[in-house]
């Protein structure tokens, strides 16, 4: 389906739940077979979250059901005494002990219910926390390439829905347990009273079971089928209410009407689907009720026949009628819960699946821990393709970083500079080729030890919605965040003035969405990111366009400081489009289409007159105020250099 705004992209690659493709194949028995597994996941989580509450909730629910079932025996005893041939006062007196027994059972049932409610209430938030924590722990430790993979994202979205579904799943499991125990105990008690009553009781269940499964299945399939539209509508809601750049364009370009039109279109589609679903549900309800009426009639006829044949006493028929009312109520509760288990269970199954796949894709632990400050980092024949990409981003890249050097990567957009940086930072693993630290393949080193040596200012550095202090400390959260160290980091990044100008200084919240929060300009944010990387004090600093948003003065100063870091024996890898700023880099690698096409010092590359010289001259020309007549056309200059 091609949406005029979104095309087919969201459905194909978006955060989409994983089981939608095979939902239509989920039949009744598959569903029934899956329920114990779903219940097992819920029980395991409950056990991990709070054993005592889980046990109390389980036993209290069963106790409540048993009390209700046993009260049937008391009811039968009461009825038997009341319909006896004795005079009325004696009949009532004879029925009194059974009545008292029924009362005791009712009190026990109420106590169990209260206990079950209290324990269940304790359990749900704990289970949800445990489930979410488990998911977050696994996902935070997944290889970046896997995290970016569309299939993983889809299953992660399902898993996140699973965490939310657990909130409903736990009460559903507990209520199912209670209703199941209640039905089983009631059927058992009825069987003890008369074996023929048992199948009659079971017969009444069938239409209701069908109703619950049919409705649950349709609700679920509909939710999954229309999730794309629902998500597209949510995106429009987000865009229309966002305070950032969409708000600016919506107002200046007058986009509100356009976006609202599409919102109305999508909301209309969803509304229609909801109405269709209610009509289908009404039809299923009528059919199921008709079938339930027919089975009830058949049961009454059978009971009448057995009564006339002398197989059953009047008291037993009365008890059976009472039991039927109870079982119907328990069944309707069981089937509602079954419905909930079925719907939420599919999401919980996704949750289990994503835990499994995240576990399988976890960043490996272990390896050599002591190669901590490499003299030389060398990359040889690096080949890397992003998941799902048709073309490789890197094709046989060789380069070398030495301690105390500033190495620059330049090249046109998309030539692979950031990808090289990400590979060197260990964010991705090359599909071919090796990165060595002092000759040791990096995969033999402990990943945490390697990461601890690297400082990273990515192209899209994170703007943490925290205070300035926290934004800086996250560079190395386990380091002592003394005022001196913070001030030095801010000073290095030329952020001192920015910070002192904020309403609450270091404690200013950098999130405009919150009361008292402020927003920084792009350049100010970049200074904070630089302060963070400085606070990290890593031995290898990888900077991907660290000055793109800085004003010319700050930019020049920042480059000077980065160069000075090398003087302090740090290794600096610098990616930039500011060709003039890297004149003093120890080595410059020029990338084109995923390959290193030139490398050398600034002087060597300029003398070579290749791609670097072309780019440099072109950039310089923007600042060159000499008359055009004196210029040689750039293309010709490059050709003549070839
Ligand atoms: N996360 C990603 N998933 C898929 N493809 C990607 C991803 N990041 C980059 N690419 C692709 O890999 C290639 C190299 O991208 P890279 O970001 O390394 O280039 P770059 O030289 O840093 O570009 P720029 O100067 O624009 O920052 C490009 O074709 C790009 O489309």
pLDDT per residue over 153-185, tens digit each?
878 888 888 888 888 888 888 888 888 888 888
553: buried, middle or exposed (CB in 10 Å: 19+, 13-18, 0-12)?
exposed
418 Cβ below 6 A of ligand 1: yes
Cα dist from 629 to 100, 334, 625, 626, 632, whole Å = 113, 89, 11, 8, 8
Q: What is the pLDDT of residue 641?
A: 42
Pocket flag, ligand 1, residue 419 (CB < 6 Å): yes
414 Cβ closer than 6 Å to some ligand 1 atom? yes
Q: Give the separation between CA 16 and CA 354, rounded to whole angstroms.
A: 13
The answer, yes or no, to whether any atom of ligand 1 lies below 6 A from the CB of 386, is: yes
Distance 417 CA to ligand 1 centre (A): 8
| Ligand 1 neighbourhood includes 413 CB (under 6 angstroms) | yes
For residue 194 and ligand 1, the question of a CB distance below 6 A is answered with no
Between CA 324 and CA 327 the distance in angstroms is 5
pLDDT at residue number 642 = 44
From the CA atom positions of the chain, what is the Rg in Å? Answer: 35
Alpha helices in 514-633 (DSSP H): 522-536, 552-567, 602-608, 611-623
Atom 27 in ligand 1: which residue has the minimum CA distance? 413
Q: Whose CA is nearest to atom 7 of ligand 1?
A: 386
For residue 170, give the nearest of 219, 111, 116, 215 by alpha carbon: 116
Name the phi and psi angles at 2, rounded to 5: -100, 115
CA of 394 to the centre of ligand 1 (A): 10
Q: Output the pLDDT for position 20.
A: 43
Alpha carbons 161 and 166: distance in angstroms, whole number: 9
DSSP 435-470: EEETTEEGGGB-HHHHHHTEEEE-TT----SSBHHH
| Cα-to-centroid distance, 123 and ligand 1 (Å) | 46
CB-based burial, 162-188: b 16+ in 10 Å, e otherwise = bbebbebbbbbbbbbbbbbbbbebbbe
505: tokens are 């200084």
The overall longest dimension of the chain from CA atoms, in Å, is: 129
Closest C-alpha to ligand 1, atom 3 = 386
Element (H, E) at 8: none
Ligand 1 site-directed mutation target among 143, 385, 387, 393, most atoms within 8 Å of CB = 393
Kindly list the structural domains of the chain, giving each domain's residue range(s) and its CATH number in brackets, ordered by start. 15-360 (1.20.1560.10), 376-453+538-641 (3.40.50.300), 461-529 (3.40.50.300)
Q: What is the pLDDT of residue 588?
A: 95
DSSP conformation letters of 393-438: SEEEEEEEEETT-EEEEEESTTSSHHHHHHHHTTSS--SEEEEEET
| 0.85 surpassed by complex ipTM | yes
Strand partners, 600: 588
Q: Which residues pair with 382 in a beta bridge?
A: 397
Q: Ligand 1: which atom is nearest the Cα of residue 422? A: 18
| Residue 371 confidence (pLDDT) | 59
Ligand 1 centre and the CA of 594: distance in Å? 9
Residue nearest to atom 24 of ligand 1 (CA): 413
Q: Whose CA is nearest to atom 5 of ligand 1?
A: 386
Half-sphere exposure (CA, 13 Å, Cβ side) for 117?
5
Whether ligand 1 lies within 6 angstroms of the CB of 420 is answered as no
DSSP state of 541: E
Q: Which of 149, 408, 409, 418 to mutate to test the pocket of ligand 1 (most atoms within 8 A of CB)?
A: 418
The residue whose CA is least distant from atom 11 of ligand 1 is 393
Say if residues 471 and 536 touch (Cβ distance below 8 Å): no
146, 147, 411, 415, best to mutate for ligand 1 pocket (most atoms within 8 Å of CB):
415
Distance CA(96)–CA(78), nearest Å, equals 8
576 Cα to the center of ligand 1, angstroms = 14
Q: Which atom of ligand 1 is nearest to the CA of 409?
A: 21
Bridge partners of 572, per DSSP, are 406, 541
**Which stretches in the chain have pLDDT values below 50?**
10-25, 629-635, 637-642
393 pocket-lining for ligand 1 (C-beta < 6 Å):
yes
């Amino acid at each position: 389906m091609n949406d005029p705004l979104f095309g087919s992209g969201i459905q194909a690659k978006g955060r989409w739940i994983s089981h939608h493709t095979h939902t239509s194949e989920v039949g009744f028995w598959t569903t029934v077979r899956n329920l114990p597994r779903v219940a097992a996941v819920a029980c395991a989580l409950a056990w991990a979250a709070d054993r005592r509450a889980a046990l109390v909730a389980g036993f209290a629910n069963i106790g409540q059901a048993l009390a209700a079932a046993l009260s049937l025996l008391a009811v039968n005893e009461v009825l038997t005494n009341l319909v006896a041939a004795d005079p009325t006062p004696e009949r009532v007196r004879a029925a009194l002990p059974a009545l008292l027994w029924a009362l005791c059972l009712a009190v026990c049932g109420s106590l169990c219910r209260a206990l079950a409610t209290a324990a269940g209430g304790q359990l749900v938030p704990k289970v949800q926390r445990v489930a979410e924590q488990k998911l977050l722990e696994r996902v935070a430790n997944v290889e970046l390439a896997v995290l970016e993979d569309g299939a993983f994202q889809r299953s992660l979205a399902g898993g996140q829905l699973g965490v939310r579904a657990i909130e409903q799943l736990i009460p559903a499991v507990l209520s199912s347990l209670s209703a199941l125990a209640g039905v089983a105990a009631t059927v058992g008690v009825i069987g003890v009273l008369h074996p023929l009553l048992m199948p009659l009781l079971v017969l009444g269940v069938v239409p209701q079971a069908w109703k619950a499964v049919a409705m649950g299945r349709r609700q679920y399939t509909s939710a999954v089928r229309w999730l794309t539209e629902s998500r597209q509508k949510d995106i429009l809601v987000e865009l229309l209410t966002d305070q950032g750049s969409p708000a600016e364009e919506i107002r200046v370009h007058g986009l509100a009407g356009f976006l609202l039109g599409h919102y109305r279109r999508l909301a209309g589609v969803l509304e229609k689907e909801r109405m269709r679903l209610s009509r289908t549900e009404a039809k299923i309800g009528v059919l199921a009720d008709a079938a339930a009426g027919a089975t009830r009639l058949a049961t009454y006829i059978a009971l009448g026949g057995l009564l006339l044949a002398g197989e059953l006493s009047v008291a037993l028929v009365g008890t059976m009628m009472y039991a039927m009312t109870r079982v119907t109520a328990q069944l309707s509760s069981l089937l509602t819960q079954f419905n909930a288990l079925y719907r939420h269970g599919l999401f919980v199954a996704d949750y289990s699946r994503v835990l499994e796949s995240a576990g399988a894709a976890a960043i490996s632990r272990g390896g050599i821990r002591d190669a901590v400050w490499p003299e030389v980092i060398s990359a040889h024949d690096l080949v890397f393709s992003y998941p799902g990409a048709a073309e490789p981003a890197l094709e046989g890249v060789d380069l070398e970083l030495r301690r105390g050097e500033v190495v620059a990567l330049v090249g046109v957009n998309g030539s692979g500079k950031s990808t090289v940086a990400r590979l060197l930072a260990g964010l991705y693993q090359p599909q071919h080729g090796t990165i060595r630290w002092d000759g040791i393949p990096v995969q033999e080193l402990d990943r945490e030890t390697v990461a601890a040596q690297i400082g990273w200012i990515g192209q899209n550095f994170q703007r943490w919605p925290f205070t300035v202090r926290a934004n800086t400390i996250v560079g190395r959260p386990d380091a002592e965040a003394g005022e001196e160290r913070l001030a030095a980091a801010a000073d290095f990044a030329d952020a001192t003035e920015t910070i002192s100008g904020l309403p609450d200084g270091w404690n200013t919240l950098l999130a405009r969405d919150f009361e008292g929060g402020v927003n920084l300009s792009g350049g100010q944010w970049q200074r904070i990111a630089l302060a963070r990387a400085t606070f990290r004090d890593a031995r290898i600093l990888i900077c991907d366009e660290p000055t793109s948003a800085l004003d010319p003065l700050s930019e020049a100063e920042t480059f000077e400081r980065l160069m000075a870091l090398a003087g302090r024996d740090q290794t600096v890898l610098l990616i930039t489009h500011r060709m003039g700023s890297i004149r003093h880099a120890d080595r410059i690698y020029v990338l084109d289409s995923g390959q290193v096409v030139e490398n050398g010092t600034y002087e060597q590359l300029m003398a070579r007159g290749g791609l670097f010289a072309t780019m440099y001259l072109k950039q310089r020309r923007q600042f060159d105020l000499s008359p055009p007549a004196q210029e040689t056309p750039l293309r010709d200059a490059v050709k003549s250099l070839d």
